[in-house]
Amino acid sequence: DAEITQSPRHKITETGRQVTLACHQTWNHNNMFWYRQDLGHGLRLIHYSYGVQDTNKGEVSDGYSVSRSNTEDLPLTLESAASSQTSVYFCASSGLAGGSQETQYFGPGTRLLVL
């Protein structure tokens, strides 16, 4: 069955370190998204991609970057981790847009603690 996976599931790091969170999907979806989930804020979009070599900033993109070198993967990098980036991170993917109303499928999440 097609799925979307994230790794690691839990990560503890120190302020100032670079951290990369992996997201891999086997749906062959063009669209991939990264969100963070925090109490009182719900889910907020960090970055998204509509295809290989395409990346776009979401509403809370500062301090984060992504790259899309193939269809299956969209790694999220925290260039210099800050305590404000302690959160639960979710990756999601969806099929082609262009008029069709596609559902986003979510990974299980990565819980990140920045000390």
Partner 1 sequence: GNSVTQMEGPVTLSEEAFLTINCTYTATGYPSLFWYVQYPGEGLQLLLKATKADDKGSNKGFEATYRKETTSFHLEKGSVQVSDSAVYFCALREAAGDKIIFGKGTRLHILP
DSSP state of 102: P
Question: Which parts of 23-62 interact with partner 1 (CB under 8 A)?
Answer: 31, 33, 40-43, 45, 48, 50, 58
The answer to the question of residue 113 lying near partner 1 (CB under 8 A) is no
- Return all residues near 30 (Cβ < 8 A) that are at least 6 apart: 50, 51, 71, 95, 96, 97
Q: Do residues 82 and 18 touch, judged by C-beta distance below 8 A?
A: no
Q: 12 or 80, CB closer to partner 1?
A: 12
Residue 102 within binding range of partner 1, rule CB under 8 A:
yes
Residues 51 and 29: their CA atoms lie apart, in Å, by 8
Among 25, 36, 109, 112, binds partner 1 (CB under 8 A): 109
Residue numbers at the binding site for partner 1 (CB under 8 A):
31, 33, 40-43, 45, 48, 50, 58, 90, 92, 94, 97, 101-109
